[in-house]
Amino acid sequence: MSRKRLLLRGAAVLAAAGTLIGLAAAPAAARPHHGHHHDEPIVIAHRGASGHLPEHTLEAYALAVELGADVIEPDLVLTADGELLARHEPMLDGTTDIAEHPEFADRETTKLVDGSPVTGFFADDFTLAELKTLRAEERLPDLRPQSAAHDGEFELVTYDEVLDYVDTLRGKVVTYPEMKHPSYYEEQGMSIEDALADLLEERGLDRKRSPVWVQSFEYQSLLDIAERVDNRIGLNIDGQGRISDAELDEYARTLDTVSLNKNRIFPRGADGSVSEPTDVVERAHDRGLDVHVWTFRAENAFLPANLRDGDDPAAWGDIEAEFALFYDLGVDAVFSDFPELAVAARDDRRHRG
């Protein structure tokens, strides 16, 4: 067993006891930041080219690659027969045409997700064969009518199918699967960690240098899957506020990456404008952690107040300036719904440098 797996196993025991952070342990020794061995930030296509086409479809992933993305990001949920489906959450409402299928009307139910009751249609109540009869729809039709024009055209896909597609590409494209709501599946008597580990092992993609990185918002889930695979692993951290040195020390012992909400790095002021950066990127790098950042979207609705162009929420603001802020700070990768804009901003920075 590798040293890292021994550390992970110990961390898992401590996490189960609820004492992972804040223990009176010696801090992790600072180590140089070697990162991903690229000289410039990596561009991750968030759910594919989801600013242009309905998210998590093979067409959105293929467009992202065409637009220059280095990495495509499939969020993963489980089907009733244990397949890994590319969807942002277990619920099918809002991103599929499930409402237009009267044969499934009796499948609507209420379940607890992250401790809150949610009513809808859940992928884990359908077999893959049933899910293949559905078609994808745009999540944000008011903001992205050009994408909504493709509603009903594209089928839902599995992660296995995404990997089959990546195998056809000439260049190396990384996939960055996110295990969605692992605790929810545990409550349903299922394991998304085992499903993903099984698939990666089956395809010989469970190694450190494999073009597959694994992510989750649940730290324990990452500790669990790291018992089985050696892929690069990253924790997604939402919200804003300081991440303590003790937390970063622990993540440096057990993870490769921290993937942060933009507000953790450039908080927004009371008026919604971007403010001075925190030091979290530097502190993470000092510990050898990569820093990935999400999510970059071009529409005014998602930009800081001082980077918006007019009052129309769907109009595009100055996303190039937002990319520049983060690139100049030295982040290792960015998630964007518009990968071509992230690539263009990166190219512009290179030319200026």
Question: Which mean pLDDT values do the consecutive 10-residue runs of the chain (353 residues) have?
Answer: 42 38 34 54 98 98 98 98 98 98 98 95 98 98 98 98 96 95 96 98 96 98 97 97 97 98 96 96 98 98 97 98 97 98 93 73
- Helix, strand and coil content of the chain, in percent to the nearest 5, comes to 35, 20, 45
Give pLDDT, residue 351.
Answer: 79
Rounded Cα distance between 347 and 304, Å, is 23
- Please give the backbone phi and psi of residue 302, each rounded to the nearest 5 degrees, phi first: -110, -10
Q: pLDDT tens digits for 106-159?
A: 999 999 999 999 999 999 999 999 999 999 999 999 999 999 999 999 999 999
For 3-15+33-92+155-352, CATH gives 3.20.20.190
Q: How many CA atoms lie within 13 A of 21 on its CB side?
A: 11
Planar angle of CA 54, 115, 100, nearest 5 degrees: 35
Structural tokens at position 347? 């190219």
Distance of CA 239 to the CA centre of its chain: 15
- Phi/psi region, residue 83 (left: phi>0; alpha: psi -120 to 50; beta: rest), is beta
Question: With contact defined as beta carbons under 8 Å apart, do 60 and 69 qualify?
Answer: no
- In the chain, where are the structural domains located? 3-15+33-92+155-352
Q: pLDDT tens digits for 2-39?
A: 434 444 444 443 343 343 323 223 333 444 444 444 57
User: Which residues are registered as beta bridge partners of 178?
Assistant: 75, 215
Those residues whose C-beta lies under 8 Å from the C-beta of residue 86, and which sit 6 or more positions away, are 56, 57, 74, 75, 76, 156, 157, 158, 159, 162
Nearest residue to 59 (alpha-carbon basis) of 116, 2, 135:
135
Q: Which helix (H) or strand (E) holds 9?
A: helix 3-16
The CB density around residue 155, as the number of other CB atoms within 10 Å, is 15
Q: Which helix (H) or strand (E) holds 77?
A: strand 75-78
Give pLDDT, residue 352.
Answer: 76
